[in-house]
Amino acid sequence: MMIHNLFTQVTQASDSEVFETLLQTEAFKLERVVSTGQATPPGQWYDQDGDEWVVLLSGSAGLLFDGERDIRVLQPGDYLYIPAHTRHRVEWTETGVETVWLALHYTTGHSLS
Amino acid sequence: MMIHNLFTQVTQASDSEVFETLLQTEAFKLERVVSTGQATPPGQWYDQDGDEWVVLLSGSAGLLFDGERDIRVLQPGDYLYIPAHTRHRVEWTETGVETVWLALHYTTGHSLS
């Protein structure tokens, strides 16, 4: 039984967000994302075919949903459900710390296309 | 889009662990567990039909796997995969704080029996 830690330093030297699949079956994918100040590029939106449940575990971030005026600020422990095709963008993530997300991607059906 | 927090005070007045299903589909169940000093009763083991991925997010706990001598101590961020029918028990959870777990129960098949 191997024990790992979600907050372990991400050793990859990168200016990008770091995505790591922790677990994957036909029905879902569990992913860790580590952000260090990145945001969704201007004018771009996430528009996902599957549903997502996501929790922010360290750092902080601002999420904007299409059609909403206010940016939602996420603090450690904050989680939400994002239905498929709910357009959203990450307006900002905190700089100087690692913002660690845990995202569960799934479909109510049985495969992730 | 509703935002909740995993560390929100558990209002339920209880001496028991508190289990809350956050998300459930045919393929998995995502559960928050809040422990406040409880342990698996002496001589009892978890022996689950499904697989489990679990992370400890606050507090601390001691896990024992059947056949192992040493108790594994889990600190915040520690996660592990527990295959179906891997007998284990929670030897202790920290007292005086809330130990918050996030557990993903699933089967490699498509239904949780």
Chain A residues close to B6, C-beta within 8 Å: 55, 77-79
User: Could you tell me if B5 and A77 are in contact, meaning their C-beta atoms sit under 8 angstroms apart?
Assistant: yes
Inter-chain CB proximity A3 and B110 less than 8 Å: no
B-interface mutation test, from A9, A20, A30, A46, most B Cβ less than 10 A away:
A30
Beta-bridge partner residues of A93: A61
User: Could you tell me if A30 and A22 are in contact, meaning their C-beta atoms sit under 8 angstroms apart?
Assistant: yes
Largest CA distance in chain B: 46
Inter-chain CB proximity A28 and B26 less than 8 Å: no
Confidence of residue B74 (pLDDT cuts 50, 70, 90): very high
Chain B residues close to A25, C-beta within 8 Å: 27, 106, 108
Whether B12 shows a pLDDT value over 90: the answer reads no
Around A77, how many Cα atoms within 13 Å sit in the side-chain half-sphere? 13
User: Could you tell me if A74 and A17 are in contact, meaning their C-beta atoms sit under 8 angstroms apart?
Assistant: no
Residue of B nearest to A65 (CA): B1
Largest CA distance in chain A: 46
pLDDT digits (tens, 9 = 90+) for A46-98: 999 999 999 999 999 999 999 999 999 999 999 999 999 999 999 999 999 99
pLDDT digits (tens, 9 = 90+) for B18-67: 999 999 999 999 999 999 999 999 999 999 999 999 999 999 999 999 99
Residues 48-67 of B with CB under 8 A from A: 53, 55, 57, 65
User: To the nearest whole angstrom, how far is the Cα of A93 from the nearest Cα of chain B?
Assistant: 17
As a whole-number percent, the residues of chain A with pLDDT over 90 amount to: 83
pLDDT at site B10: 66
User: Could you tell me if B57 and B35 are in contact, meaning their C-beta atoms sit under 8 angstroms apart?
Assistant: no
- What lies within 8 Å, CB to CB, of B35 at 6+ separation is B17, B59, B61, B90, B93, B98, B99, B101
Q: What is the ipTM of this complex?
A: 0.90
Q: How many residues does chain B have?
A: 113
Around A95, how many Cα atoms within 13 Å sit in the side-chain half-sphere? 5
Confidence of residue B111 (pLDDT cuts 50, 70, 90): very low
Tell me, what DSSP letter sits at residue B85?
A: T
pLDDT at site A13: 60
Closest CB to A28 among B22, B28, B65: B28
